[in-house]
Amino acid sequence: MKNLKVVLIILALVFVGVSCTAQEKGLTVEEAKIMCEKAELVWSKADEQAIDDIIDSNFVMYSPLFPDGLKGIDSLKNYLKNNAVPYPDFAITIDDFYVSGDILFSYWTLTATNTGPLGEMPATNQAVKVSGIAVSKVKNGKIYEEETFWNVFEMYKQLGFTLLPPKAENDK
């Protein structure tokens, strides 16, 4: 009976040790590399299969364009489809990445040419090149939350937009 207790305690410790190791494992560099390759397809080609492969159905993305979050995989698909109108050559290249646990940090470069209307504004026919960072949270091999950080003003400046100071009250 004493040996049975010792064996059960050892098995319990092994189980706890294996469970803790499995939880701490996170993404491997190889898994992160594959995820980055598919992310390029998601953003550059709006590839439906790549979206379904790496994006969770409850995905939320926060960015300068979506401070309250773009919510759901269908919203992402719709955004990518609509983004192809003003920017048919829209492409994102992931230049480098780093993985820590279940968080993937990627440094990317966006390139595009505005050849279609941007909302109510006509096309500018200007090319843009902007870099940014994405922090992607991954669970069960899919991105469920992402925050992107990039300079929106720089992109609009490259499109030809300018920022003017407000008129003073005496400049009527």
pTM of the model: 0.79
pLDDT reported for residue 130: 97
Distance CA 149, CA 152 (A): 9
Q: What is the mean pLDDT of residues 136-158?
A: 96
Contact predicate 125/109, CB 8 Å: no
Average of per-residue pLDDT values in the chain:
88
Residue 36, classified by CB atoms within 10 Å of its CB into exposed (0-12), middle (13-18) or buried (19+), is buried
pLDDT reported for residue 3: 61
Contact predicate 124/96, CB 8 Å: no
pLDDT reported for residue 14: 61
* 28-66 pLDDT per residue, tens: 999 999 999 999 999 999 999 999 999 999 999 999 999
